[in-house]
Amino acid sequence: MAIITISRGTYSGGRELASKLASMLGYKYLPREDLSDRATRMGVPVGKLQMAMVRPPRVYQRLARERDQYLACITMLLCEEALQGDVIFQGHTGHLLLPGVPNILRVRVLAELEYRIRAVMADHGLSREKAKEYILNVDSDRDKWVRFLYGVDWHDPFNYDMVINLDQTGINNASSVLCSMAQLPDFKLTPAAEKSLMNLYLASKAHYALTADKRTSYADVKVTANKGVVTVTYLPQQSEVAPYVQEVLAHLTEIKEVNTTIAQSSILYIQQKFDPQSERFADVIRVAKKWDAAVELMCVAEGGKCPGEQALISHAEEKTTETTEREYDGGIQDDTETKESFSAEVARSLDELVKCGCSGGHSTFYGTPDSLITSLQRRSTYSMVVLGDLFLDKGEATRVRLKSELKGLFSDRLSVPVVEDTELHQQFTFGIKQIMTLVLSVAGAIALFLGVFTYQRELLNFLTGEEFKHLRAVAVVVIAVLTPLFAFTYGTFTRQLLKLFRLD
């Protein structure tokens, strides 16, 4: 099973390349227009969304719910096709519809403007000036469309594995090169990728069902799925949808369980391995409760394998005499004991979040940091991203460096706070350093307080007395210094005191 996405500009030859490549590989050719037509027949206002792109931004920004319904529907349809067999999807950055699904061959097709102008003139019989105007107008609309749907610049080459200029390469040569690339193991969907695709399919199917039903269509919901368990998060002011969520999703036979969570926002907690008994996990829950936020757990895979699988490979290589080796994603399939252990850890973590009323679901991401960021950019807005244990297969120094670099990359490209869970823990920890701060601050505040009231007559005389009239400037400086100094020391004391009793 394989997925190839081809993004192209107006009359750049991308449609022809996709069709030829599908014929050569025996894949199903799936243009974006086919999915849009199916979505329209299902009641999604595709035409309304497309027409809004030519209007001012304030117009189409009001169509957020229609956009969510469109994305849920198109994602569901694309996943459905991909799960049935090999697919070549031709559209605007189609791979962004499949966040977290690895091994997709992402292609961007370019052509010189003159090449495109000649194609439009031949196809529509337009003059050169009219053909150029047509291309520029359509490209502008597509830029707005992609930004409206995904919030990214589709011209950015980092969104693709290969960028091809057909004016130089030609369709025949380009299709031959892509045909060879498509045969590489890196672009074949592994069992892990199929699992990720199935989770995305179920989440988008549930999300579309909720947006299509009148009882829940108005709610701003976030839907995640993992192994048949669907988590639906909605705002407190929309709590009246809660009784209908189960009813709306009851007809989806793939769903084993539905969890609902009320939250104002979401915190994304990214790790390789979760421990619900750890202090850092408890710190994230404390923040979530204060912010009235749901916590979404995301496991990040190393080398295309989930953390439990990766850890097992080294273990299994030492026990080849005891364990039958089988091919699995290029390695050895994990044994039942380790797989169940990893699943149990995630299940216990999710149970703990459910108990606290802040469960935001769970997912596993397979891919590069760039693809992860692109995936997060098109998701619902997070109030915070927390980075936990990552790069566990590296040495301590390398792990610290890579995690720091990842944090910097996230901070640069995501418009939300990005922190490490160790930083959160330091904020909540009350140790020797905090005790010393508490003692010194309260001592300073008491000293200033006693000093002012012990010598208040002398101080008032200095500030207002006639004999000190020539020192008014000094009096102003004294007030300007003492007031904020007292406020700082007393404020530090009260903050540390609240922290001591966990009331901060």
Tens-digit pLDDT profile for residues 358-370: 888 887 776 677 7
Radius of gyration, CA atoms only, the chain: 29
% of the chain surpassing 70 pLDDT: 85
Interior angle at CA 199, CA 3 and CA 222, nearest 5: 115
Lowest pLDDT segment from 10-19, 243-252, 257-266, 457-466: 457-466
Query: Which distant-in-sequence residues (6+ apart) come within 8 Å of 290 by Cβ?
Result: none
Query: Residue 126: pLDDT above 70?
Result: yes
What is the DSSP-derived secondary structure letter of residue 322? T
Query: Residue 340: pLDDT above 60?
Result: no
DSSP code per residue over 104-127: -EEEEEE--HHHHHHHHHHHH---
Task: Tell me if 419 sits within 8 A of 267, measured CB to CB.
Answer: no
pLDDT in tens, 165-188: 988 888 999 999 999 999 998 888
Structure tokens at 396: 């301590």
Query: Which distant-in-sequence residues (6+ apart) come within 8 Å of 457 by Cβ?
Result: none
CB-count exposure of residue 406 (10 Å: 0-12, 13-18, 19+): buried
Task: Tell me if 81 sits within 8 A of 28, measured CB to CB.
Answer: yes
Query: Residue 74: pLDDT above 90?
Result: yes
Cα–Cα distance between 27 and 362 in angstroms, integer?
A: 32
Lowest pLDDT segment from 89-93, 152-156, 228-232, 438-442: 152-156
Give the dihedral sign, CA 352/356/361/366: negative
Taking phi first (over 0 means left), then psi (-120 to 50 degrees means alpha), and beta for anything else, what does residue 214 get?
A: alpha
Task: Tell me if 107 sits within 8 A of 12, measured CB to CB.
Answer: no
Residue that the structure tokens 């102008």 belong to: 117
Lowest pLDDT segment from 167-181, 314-328, 405-419: 314-328
Cα–Cα distance between 63 and 52 in angstroms, integer?
A: 9
CB atoms closer than 10 angstroms to residue 478: 14
CB atoms closer than 10 angstroms to residue 481: 10
Cα–Cα distance between 6 and 253 in angstroms, integer?
A: 33
pLDDT in tens, 216-235: 988 888 898 988 899 998 88
Residue that the structure tokens 């699988």 belong to: 309
Cα–Cα distance between 82 and 421 in angstroms, integer?
A: 37
Structure tokens at 314: 């080294």
Average pLDDT value for residue range 188-202: 89
Please state whether beta strands 359-365 and 257-262 pair in parallel, antiparallel, or not at all (unpaired). Answer: unpaired
CB atoms closer than 10 angstroms to residue 500: 13
Interior angle at CA 36, CA 414 and CA 204, nearest 5: 50
Task: Tell me if 259 sits within 8 A of 229, measured CB to CB.
Answer: yes
DSSP code per residue over 155-209: T-GGG-SEEEEHHHH-HHHHHHHHHHHHTSGGGS--HHHHHHHHHHHHHHHHHHH
What pLDDT does residue 242 have?
A: 86
